[in-house]
Structure 1
């Protein structure tokens, strides 16, 4: 039998998010913001469950929950990418946005729109007054004739329900156009031609009425004329639109026949709607219609049922049969069920009907997807069925405002509200920010949504933009650091990167940026002398921070105290000290003055051991470093630097050779210089990039730099980006507690992989399988050459600023020239030939 759209579309009139149906029901529909779920810890997931418990216990009977898979609006992606950026002033980023937009379109990402429809009125009140507005047999309402008082009454009822639910889901009224879009989406489900969802409320939506297209729903696809299969036994609906240019849609409705007898474990075993993502070639929507009863109603009904069971058992007490055992089993279950509600007074009973709608281009494609879904549900011990003869009735359940049909009750299930809350239907695996450049795509959700990382917008949302990266050699850490650096540059910011590579990969990358400055600390063209680099009020303190550890001196005794006195503001002014070379000359003079010979002689001899070795500090003919260039790369490959173990082990640190002390002092000075330049209100975003994280986290000065960028970067438009192989050793203190954005690339060593996931925030006791995914299934090298295929490069785990954890793939720059610059690794000779001269 074919059903016309007039039999299934209940809408008589629409006013904003209010829907008036032919049966006299009035509903209100809202966008629901799903709660972050993904790979979060079990404690966080219990918070999500409690939010759903509050939701279901306060919903009126007949409420409809929807999860609609839709084509992502790429215009929204474009809008998010340019938010907060002056495109007219950032030509490079404009080119990147256009290229990214085209790339996102080619990926064809999907999204899931979550909706909640609640009944807010019936025909016995406001509708009776409206009944005079019905026009003939078409059952339509003149929306313009509805009074504001009527509309306000329904709005108040809806607000009362939402107030009881709470604000975790951030409900937003849908535009009137949403009802028309839903109808068109249902008619074309999986067959192409799906319009972009109106996810933004428009100015004129308050008075917009929908126009619903015509269609015929052919249950059993009888018009296909397949005589080999009886049409009545084909659980498929063929949706035909006579006036549409698109081909018919073949759809099938699944519903749970039974759930596990022993219950479903939360978390990990009850989230049965999460398995619907990632099916290729088809569209999968779900809907759930719910009604609740209070604990008092349930206990009364249970007492009545128990009394009836007792009477039946009395009637069969002399009978020897299996029926007696069955009655005893039912009585025991009913008693346990009743005890649950007596012990939990805040509980309620939920009756719910779930429909999973699958649509595709062909009947075979749809049936294959249905079988794939059934196989997935076997792991949950959920038996799914596609009931013949009830397909259209179940199809109609996803249409807001549909009147109750027999199939809704036939396939309903009853559970306590705390068990229903474990289904957590309104959840998302989304990661990243609400705006900013697209850095990759989401792999965990299965819909390949773009991942935005609003590194320059974070400050406006009172969030830290700092980030940290971990992974093994060749996993993509440096690639990602360069990606973020070039995006900051293209958006009008500046960056300073410390390049430890022998081949100068950052130098090669910076050569693609106009007016980039390259500095080699072993062959300097600029000075890092803190007395010349910083303002007089802080120059002495910065010099002490660098000189005292370098000379192995304490600031309060002997030569260290003498240096502290000379580098105080009074000492600098009194002795006319303007550089470290001046300091050396002053110390040599003071060692001849009676009374302080020993301290100054010791200080002079210590300074004498380094003055020739570190021209970047003591050569006064070099101009001081100026961090006003858009891109600055500091090469430190010729510096000897201590290992993380040497920095954290006291006896090894005390035995550090002079060369490593020099390297540490210069490394820290670069970070301090970036802090002074970037953590100032100069109106320009600044990013400090360090590929050797332990030098910024394990020393006193480096830890202070990391802490300042992490704490105060959002106030001054600045951030720090760090990379390491082992987060358990290197990401301590501020790097662990204050850097919110974390990325984990491939790590095949089991200990380091475990450390990385724990640093990310994953509970490996709850999800031990993630360890194997990180080690073996994240950008895995394959083949004889052990190379990573291009399509698998950049896979990673991510934790965003909202503590959501997911899995994604870094795409890199969309511009071909930028991608080539950060991908290729030069040789040393070529890098030296290209080196720009610093000012």
Structure 2
């Protein structure tokens, strides 16, 4: 499988389909066993977040490893351990415990497509040209600085619309690499800790389109390209077995990193899709099934594809549906009149 990302600049990704995405890391809000009043507040923040997103956004909840040394380092930051030997002993014991437990956390990743504007037709053509250059082993063309700055300003507007408690932080190229590797190594327990990123404040972020130097443009050639094997067909002992096997008997995906310098083994991944929710709605609080995933005892990543429509778009669709309904009513009324006349005769 070819990597869908062909170019990166700051927290922007140019894909092979011509769409430009802005990636952010979101801070989770405290929820847990808090009173219903606090849960209502958190729910309101999430509603505001969804309403602020344009188009078909993508929200990911990724299980990430946590370096025990990083946890203990936060425990001793700003302290002189010579003055508190008991606390030093406690930190040492904590480090040993965390090494045995293998702590982790959930990373919340938001990807938002940016409006193409005048580049609506140019970007797909540029993406096709990039694929042709790759096929011919030619260098990839760069991205104009003015275009990078324009998309960065759009990304800053998206970040400004996200409720402040989520503290949106622009993703870095190292974090994008981490996400790609994580998707290919699920279940192998090879994840490193998520690389640290810059501050989300545009005044302190040199990658911001509102000030400072523009980020360095780079290609997506460094992103690994795995082999995807649906149902693990390559594990069959013979070609005949592969042809006669029922694909429904092996509902999993085998992901093999064929281009890896050091073989790491294949990752076998199963995917579940939520098809529907109760017609009468879901009880709140009490039905937050996404939050209960962490209690299942298995590391599970989840993804939400969000199609957000504006109130104007919904109102236009409702008006169109109302016109169609009135036309159908008029047609049916005419048919009924003809039927009544026939009965009278």
Shift of 1:117: 1.2
Q: Quick one: which of 143, 149, 152 aligns to 2:149?
A: 152
How many residue pairs match? The answer is 310
SS at match of 1:265: coil
Q: How does 1:705-784 map to 2 (within 5 A)?
A: none
Distance 1:122 1:294, change over 3 A: closer
Higher relative contact order (CA 8 A, sep 6+): 2
SS of equivalent to 1:256: coil
Question: How many Å separate the matches in 1 of 2:85 and 2:217?
Answer: 39
1:303, 1:123 → 2: CA distance? 27
Cα distance change of structure 1 residues 204 and 153 upon mapping to structure 2, 3 Å threshold: closer
Whether 1:60 aligns to 2:57 is: no
Whole-angstrom CA distance in 2 between matches of 1:310 and 1:43: 44
8 A contact 2:143–2:217 mirrored in 1: no
Aligned counterparts of 1:62 and 1:163: Cα–Cα separation in 2 = 18
TM-score (norm 1): 0.34
1:279 to 296, 303, 312: 296
Among residues 4, 7, 20, which one is paired with 1:13 in the alignment? Answer: 7
Q: Specify whether residues 135 and 222 from structure 1 end up closer, same or farther in structure 2 by C-alpha distance, changes over 3 A only.
A: closer
Change (3 A) 1:208 1:151: closer
Q: Secondary structure in 2 aligned to 1:257?
A: coil
What corresponds to 2:191 in structure 1?
194
| 1:299 partnered with 2:315 | yes
Task: Give the aligned partner of residue 265 of structure 1.
Answer: 283
Q: Does 1:87 align with 2:81?
A: yes
Match of 2:341 in 1: none
Task: Report the secondary structure of 1:117's partner residue.
Answer: strand
* Pairing 1:676-691 to 2, within 5 Å after superposition: none
Deviations 1:780-804 (A, max 9, x none): xxxxxxxxxxxxxxxxxxxxxxxxx
1:169 aligned residue: 166
Specify the alignment match of 2:250 in structure 1. Answer: 234
Equivalent in the alignment of 1:137: 133
What TM-score results when the alignment is normalised by the length of structure 2?
0.78
Could you list the per-position Cα deviations for residues 432-472 of structure 1 after superposition, in whole angstroms to 9, with x for gaps in the alignment? xxxxxxxxxxxxxxxxxxxxxxxxxxxxxxxxxxxxxxxxx
Q: Does 1:110 align with 2:110?
A: no
Deviations 1:106-144 (A, max 9, x none): 10112100111112243843994994994843289869x
Deviation per CA, 1:246-301: give whole Å up to 9, x if none: 221111221111110111112212x2211211333x43111112122223322332
Residue number in structure 1 paired with 2:29: 35
1:221 corresponding residue in structure 2: 232
Larger Rg: 1
Match of 1:322 in 2: none
Q: What's the CA shift for 1:167?
A: 1.0
Change (3 A) 1:29 1:74: same
2:181 matched residue in structure 1: 184
Q: Summarize deviations over 1:808-833 as a string: whole Å, max 9, x none.
A: xxxxxxxxxxxxxxxxxxxxxxxxxx
Q: Cα distance 1:251–1:45, how it changes in 2: closer, same or farther (>3 A)?
A: same
Matches within 5 A, 1:339-358: none
For residues 220 and 204 of structure 1, do their structure 2 counterparts lie closer, same or farther at Cα, with a shift above 3 Å needed? farther
